[in-house]
Structure 1
Amino acid sequence: MNEVAATFFDVFVGSYTSPLPHAPHADGQGISRLRLDTSTGQLSAPEVVAHSVQPSFVALHPDGQTLYAVSELPQGELEAYRVQPDGTLSRLGSQPTQGAFPAHVGAEPLGRYVLCVNYGSGVSVLAFPLDEDGQMGPCVAAAQHHGHGPDALRQAGPHPHSVTASPDGRHVYVADLGTDEIVRYDLAPERLLHRLDQVRLPPGSGPRHLAFDAAGEWAFVTLELSAGVALLRRDPETGELQLLGTWPTQPPTYSGDTAPADVLVSPDGTFVYVSNRGHDSVAVFRLDRSAQTLTPVQYVSAQGQTPRGAALSPGGAFLLVANQDSSSLTVFRRHPEEGTLESCGVLACPTPTCVCAAPR
């Protein structure tokens, strides 16, 4: 299955700890840790390892030794935790996000900075320096988005929803649901978060999350408001993105509401996985590089309500889905040749919103 040589993986899960308008049901207690057995695809029971408030998105440092979490609050915070040898977390500290309701965090691949975005008012995107141990310093660069989209309810102003660094660490791309743009910034220290350009997505599409293939040549973006996924190609020299097309993430026979959330790419860059809230599924696509298109392969039930965050295990043998409104995690075994998913089971986990995995 091309899995790395480890029997177990640590799985960290962020959650909602109190209700919000888009999450009226919330029974999480913070950040939980589970263990994934790669021989069976089974998860251990969740254990709360950090009593954080509203840690709706979590991400690991490239070395896997530090975990970062945004607290989705009116006065947002970014927290850092050291991952201990036994998988527990020790808090290193926090920094204010200078805005409301931060939605996403990610450490760029060279380990120099951790970046986050505020979905609500305040500064749009921020960069915090990291020392060699993954500890954060105060914000050293920030940028502000402006504009709006045609959806008066959801796009009255900018709503940055994710921040994703290119695999080479040269640029960072911010998907803004409110302005229908992917904004590209410089990651060079002397030009940190200098705005370079933007690519426009279809009006009213609402870009949410972005993922690159390992080579950084292809980018995939979930379109929350138009229920689609976009395919873009990245120029290897300049880093500019070119929009190639969009595809619906639900089957043609489905007429209900769908709001795509997360997007993942297989290690070989051939298959794309999208979590579909509303349709409550994971959509699987195959990338045709020569035709520059996506082809649907499978729509598999998430076996829970409101599948939001998702993650591939290191090596890509398993896919995990956080079902927010049914308080459960689903584990799928991934067939690498066909890209299809097969359920390994469902485990109770309070109001999960985000999941990430790292080898022990």
Structure 2
Amino acid sequence: MRLPLPMRLDHVNIYALADDDGWTVIDTGFDDAPSRAQWAALRAGPLAGRVARVLVTHSHADHVGRAGALQVEGAEVLMSRTAWLTARMLWLDQPRHPPPEQLQFWRAAGMPAEMLARRATERPWHSADVAAPLRPGFRRLQEGQCLTLGSRRWAVRMGEGHAAEHATLWSDDGIVIGGDQLLPRISPNLGVYPTEPLADPVGDWMDSCARLARFARPDQLVLPGHGLPFTGLPFRLAALIGNHRAALDRLVSVLAEAPRTAVGCFDVLYRRRIGEGEFGLALVEAVAHINRLRAEGLIEAAGTTADGGTLWGATGAGAASGT
């Protein structure tokens, strides 16, 4: 089933497995008016009956948004521990204005001064705007765990990079539920946030792709969190790694010529105009690529701009790599 999202990525896929005691739902969409209307239609039609459990692949609101509401109706929630704790934390975090740490993070990344001043006075987007609160009590998903759902046996495999402890499910008969870890056409956002400014989600992502590739076969049917189901998973995982590696190589080559801020790297990473609506996601992913190159020893801080943005330039190793 495809539920609407009010953004450029305008949908999220959810799945339902028929079990003896009711439905097992995989992910939920937002808890907003359009999604609630869709859920009402589903519950009156193809999903009539009891929702026995809801399995959430990761902590982002478009996947966990309705889980708390289904939990109140009696559904058991299955998530990784980190995903559950993160979703709870994000729901509770509702500041009226961006905190000082957020503003400093944006400034250091090179956000233009006029945009920074405007955003400093605006109410931030909150997970609680589109997600129901999770109630205490969940069943933990762990790496290598085996589940029986919908008359199939599934192995749980965890991914990293897009979201911490992102669960994917691999059935014995060749179905893979991929969430946002395994998408057919795009790479999910790999972002760094002021909660962990030195995080390396790009490195975590590429490591996860390599690890999951050990279980991938060309004939498996992958059911993704966005986009259409697909086959050819080994090729897709290699392409996901290759796309980010190519972006890193482009970036270090440019930084060998002259230092830039993370925002100053947008043209190198995205090769298209970044609008106001997608600026935040572009910024956190640019910082993620900077952090990966820092971890590889290919770039280093090379000064600051007049507005307080950190400039990054290639080290000796980075300059050699860039040529």
- TM-score when normalising by structure 2: 0.28
Normalized per residue, the structure richer in helix is 2
Larger Rg: 2
- TM-score when normalising by structure 1: 0.26
Normalized per residue, the structure richer in strand is 1
